[in-house]
Amino acid sequence: MLNSKIDKATGFEKRFENIGTVVYENSTSGSKAVAKEIADLIRVKQSQKQPCILGLATGSSPKGLYSELVRLHKEEGLSFKNVISFNLDEYYPMQPDSVNSYVRFMNELLFNHVDILPENCHVPDGTLSKEEIANYCTAYEAKIEALGGIDLQILGIGGNGHIGFNESGSLQNSKTRLVALDHITRVAASSDFLGLNNTPRTAITLGVKVIMEAQRVILMAWGEGKSNIIKQSVEGQVTNLVPASFLQEHGNVTFVLDKEASSKLTRVNTPWLVEKIEWTDKLIRKAVLGLAQHLKKPILMLTDADYIENGMSDLLADSGPAYDINIKIFNRLQNTITGWPGGKPNADDSKRPERAEPSKKRVLIFSPHPDDDVISMGGTFKRLQEQGHDVHIGYQTSGNIAVSDAEALRFAAFVCDYNDKFGIKNVEAENIFKKALDFLHNKKGSEIDIPEVRHIKGLIRKGEAQAASHFIGLDDTHIHFMELPFYETGAIEKMPLGDEDIKITMDLIDKIKPHQIYAAGDLADPHGTHKVCLDAIFRAVKELKPKKYMDDCWVWLYRGAWQEWGVDEIEMAVPMSPDQVLDKRHGIFKHQSQKDGVVFLGTDSREFWQRAEDRNKETAEVYHQLGLAHYAAMEAFVRWHF
């Protein structure tokens, strides 16, 4: 059984955490630990000749869990014949064979791969008439109750704290029912349905009451995007505004997190408030910069009293007085700022983030989608090119699913009109257009595009990426379209990272032999494209490490349109003038298909150029508030050591 890490002797963590939490290095190890507990429970029940009643969840969080359970079945003989499962929820209305059906999700990820009896698999029925739902929900709960209740309930957590589809406002005694989905929930799911307009407004969900009656509950959360709601659920008050907080009143619950999801917990984010710690350079920087931001003071204005009154007297005793600590941290932050991201030639580089030599570097920028480069580091990209470095860009995926159907039709029609205007007879082009037109006019919600439509969408994004790279100053020999196979499913759900993905990545690195690699370090979603693309780079770099040229290769991580590095993490900050901010905006504008109603905006209604601009300005403002020079904007990077 998983155990919480609350120290009952000191009570340190219990002051903050009201739910037992276990933090793993990553989602893979966390998922394996949960799978082991489930397997142990199944086997105990088998030895007692009893059924094992599992409450199961869907979404991205349990994917690794189900993969490990399938492995345990196939490789270690774990039988599911005594398992009876009840899923938390289902969209309504929803046909079981729909690509977004939770029936299909469970079949494809678990049920079809183990020996569970079909009659023992229960998923709420999304095909009922509304008049039938109330009685159906009562019967669903009655089945669970007749079996003695759920032995182990698996949960994920929504961005607003929902468990199942028990949204904000749900009561602790709520029963299984049809619910209206919160706008935040619908926006989060909209990418699966290719737009908010196609996303269901209602769902059937197991009630909070049944969840709370389970003998054991495990909630899994992965990624930085879940860190804020995890902190509210674990450390905040019990409130129906955050339904996951109800679990504080359950007697046998554990939150299983990866490092990123746990990052806002007090014991992780500010451990000096929890227990006596060893003050490393990294923790000192984090604490001092956090204190300055909390008090809204420049670093050099912090006093001994500020340290003492905010739980940092140990640091003051070890390394004080405050002025000595302040000046050290101020200088370190000052040294992250550089207008020479490729290194400044013929300069003392002992306090600069990048090496001076070689003065002309080979640079390889990896972009997961065809616009992440200019959105995330467009200013740095342009500066590297202008300062004479040999800059290459590797677009890792086609990004075709982010192009709207209307945009695809517009471009296909343009080809036909172009041919007609200039008297070019091209029957094949006309046939492709007619085929695409017929498909898109009859396309069902979330139906996977036919190859012709996917190719059109991919060509649109390829052309935009070329236009942006040309704007930066690159020629076509320095623009590389990798089209990693894992991405090319035509659906939101991608294939696992494969050997061919790694080989393509290695081949490009080996061809260029870069002194610098830039890669997207977004880790908000452990199953997202950015994370998979980053894993491909990490694995490729490690494979290539024995090669001599890799001794001179540094890897810098940028972040995308969704988040930014914390100021305590930043190792290189590249400032931008107002004119450079406008240049970056114009580069982003080359990606016309991603403006004005883009498919995957997420919960943020701003367009990507607005998010990037605001984020870069906010980074510059943070530096200024801490007492450093005031720039119009800044792009931030963290170095990855391999």
Q: So which residues are the catalytic ones?
A: 167
The set of residues, in sequence order, having a beta carbon less than 8 Å from that of 633 and lying 6+ positions away, is: 379, 575, 576, 580, 581, 613, 616, 617, 619, 620
The set of residues, in sequence order, having a beta carbon less than 8 Å from that of 1 and lying 6+ positions away, is: 37, 40
For 573, other C-beta atoms within 10 Å of its C-beta total 25
Beta strands in 259-402 (DSSP E): 362-367, 390-395
- The residues pairing with 558 across neighbouring beta strands, listed in sequence order, are 520
Q: Distance (Å, rounded) from C-alpha 56 to C-alpha 106?
A: 9
Kindly state the tokens that stand for 333: 């932050």
Prior bond to 353 cis, omega within 30? no
Helix (H, G, I), strand (E, B) or coil at 203: strand
What letter would DSSP give residue 248? G
Helix (H, G, I), strand (E, B) or coil at 640: strand
Assess contact for 131 and 196: CB atoms under 8 A.
Answer: no
β-pairing, 202-205 with 89-92? antiparallel
What's the angle, vertex CA 47, arms to CA 42 and CA 51, rounded to 5?
A: 50
The set of residues, in sequence order, having a beta carbon less than 8 Å from that of 172 and lying 6+ positions away, is: 208, 209, 212, 240, 246, 249
What letter would DSSP give residue 639? E
Q: Distance (Å, rounded) from C-alpha 207 to C-alpha 204?
A: 9
Which helix (DSSP H) or strand (DSSP E) does residue 334 occupy? helix 322-334
Q: Distance (Å, rounded) from C-alpha 457 to C-alpha 444?
A: 18
CA distances from 567 to 288, 316, 522, 635 (A): 11, 21, 16, 11
For 75, other C-beta atoms within 10 Å of its C-beta total 8
Side-by-side strand order, sheet with 83-87: 20-24, 253-258, 217-221, 152-155, 52-56, 83-87, 121-122
Which helix (DSSP H) or strand (DSSP E) does residue 24 occupy? strand 20-24
Burial of 386 (0-12, 13-18, 19+ CB in 10 A): exposed
Kindly state the tokens that stand for 508: 């490009």
Kindly state the tokens that stand for 414: 């343009």
